[in-house]
Amino acid sequence: MARLVECVPNFSEGRDKQVIDAISAAISETPGCSLLDVDPGASTNRTVYTFVGPPEAVVEGALNAAQRAFSLIDMSKHSGEHPRTGALDVCPFIPVQNVNMDDCVHCANEFGRRLAEMLHVPVYLYGEAAQSELRRSLPSVRSGEYEALPEKLKRDMWAPDFGPAHFVPSWGATVTGARKFLIAYNVNLIGTKEQAHRIALDIREQGRGKDQPGLLKKVQGMGWYLEEANLAQVSTNILDFELTPLHTVYEEICRDAEELKLPVVGSQIVGLIPLKALLDAADFYMKRDQLFIIEEEHKVRLVISKLGLDSLGPFNPKERIIEYMMRSQEEGGLTSLSLRQFVHSVGARTAAPGGGSVSAAIGALGAALGAMVGQMTYGKRQFENLDGVMRRLIPPFYQAMNELLELVNADSSAFNGYMVALKMPKTTTEEKKRRETAMQEGLKQAVGVPLTLAEKISILWPSLKQMVVYGNMGCKSDAQVAAKALETAVFGAYYNVLINLKEISDEAFRISTQRRVSELLQEAKDNVASILDAAEKRT
């Protein structure tokens, strides 16, 4: 998989479409960069751009955007609701795929150095790239905003990390750094800017100061008035959505608003959001309200409705969820093929996809049939006494179906990794050693995928037994096929493990793995015999 970094530059222009489009073009025209989202705001007079690419490409894309903006934005004439310190106010780099935070820190340093050299402007580092604790927080670096820069730059403690320590009126200063994924999230109120800010002071981690901390960790916040929508907003940055989830921020603001007798009228995501943040919110509302939803699409719809994410404009998941945007930028591998294409690719004169990918596909189909039997039972009047049972039985099949589909690609990729190792040079002793190590690692990966397949199917046997006992009799044959498909997938996993184990030199690994896969195969045989017997007894 490609190495991908996300870059989210915030430019201080949200009203002039020509300027906004020109900066977009500068990013889109950069080789390797995929522009995912452009989110302008008139009241804030600010546009948030989101694009991804390899580390080197996103640095170039950010530099090209900054250079284009340099002649188009004049900070001496800028005004807006959002805090800002420069024309390119902040430019963070975020790890997405096959990169770590250190890679993004390197991107920030490279970008900051080259921006300062190119435009002769002051640049500060923040977040994980900060050179001191004082500069780790963006609000701290941005304190006083653009208007304070002339005096701020004269102080040694605020000397820029890159570039000259002098004021450039048309530009101001730029802050760049590395961070985790940040969710820019605003909650709408029918009220005043002051009332919104009062709630923000209560919920943000900083609170009202050292002696009055706020309620929510890793949350920044302020209140403002959105003129174009004629309402106030509690504007937040959620710095760690796994520590403080999206729904927690929304519910806490709702509680505070209720105390002030203020109506909450939806909310707004600025830019993109990770899928997990929405699914975590869905899980919260499903548990709280005792809802039964298994499809990802429906979970996302639930959260859009609960949080009112479409209150200020359409919320199209394909354009707002970063994983969906990334999916549209990349090929989906074997699972993106039509059935006909997949079958033909198996039948081609290539070693992969082979038995491993086919086993995973058969397993996914078996799990899908298990889910189908449950779905054909749940919610029907004649089986309404079984709704509670089906709510419990369906989700494991649905989850396994999706996980086994992922293994269709994973098996092929693992085998390809071994083939790459085989082609490594082997002239010198050192080259032979590196090649052998890579081959052994490739073989262990090739063994790991089918073993994982068998383990995931092992979890399903108790649920399938109950599905055969309680499920809709009209789907009896589907449950029987599900059992045999899952058993066949485990057989396939067993044979794929054995053939690759023979070449692995680690004896302890070889013995323990063979023992485990043999246990899983015997378990599959025993369970399928029991399931088919139970099915035959139902009339």
> Does position 511 have pLDDT exceeding 60, yes or no?
yes
Q: How confident is the model at residue 29 (pLDDT cuts 50, 70, 90)?
A: very high
| Residue percentage of the chain with pLDDT more than 90 | 83
Q: How confident is the model at residue 225 (pLDDT cuts 50, 70, 90)?
A: very high
Q: How confident is the model at residue 420 (pLDDT cuts 50, 70, 90)?
A: confident
Q: For 229-274, how does the pLDDT look when each residue is reduced to its tens digit (9 = 90+)?
A: 999 999 999 999 999 999 999 999 999 999 999 999 999 999 889 8
Q: What is the pTM (predicted TM-score) of this model?
A: 0.76
Q: How confident is the model at residue 334 (pLDDT cuts 50, 70, 90)?
A: confident
Compute the distance between CA of residue 146 and CA of residue 148 in angstroms, rounded to an integer. Answer: 6
Grouping H, G, I as helix, E, B as strand and the rest as coil, residue 94 is strand
Tokens of 109: 């340093």
Q: How confident is the model at residue 329 (pLDDT cuts 50, 70, 90)?
A: low
Determine which of 57-71, 122-136, 411-425, 431-445 has the lowest per-residue pLDDT on average.
411-425
| Catalytically annotated residues | 82, 411
Helices (H), 85-152: 101-119, 138-141, 145-152
Average pLDDT, the chain: 93
pLDDT at 298: 97
The mean per-residue pLDDT over the stretch 280-284 comes to 97
Grouping H, G, I as helix, E, B as strand and the rest as coil, residue 37 is strand
Compute the distance between CA of residue 266 and CA of residue 519 in angstroms, rounded to an integer. Answer: 53
pLDDT at 411: 82
Strands (DSSP E) contained in 21-84 are: 34-41, 46-53
The mean per-residue pLDDT over the stretch 353-372 comes to 96
pLDDT at 413: 76
Q: For 72-116, how does the pLDDT look when each residue is reduced to its tens digit (9 = 90+)?
A: 999 999 999 999 999 999 999 999 888 999 999 999 999 999 999
- Return the H-helix or E-strand segment holding 178: strand 174-178
Q: For 297-306, how does the pLDDT look when each residue is reduced to its tens digit (9 = 90+)?
A: 999 999 999 9
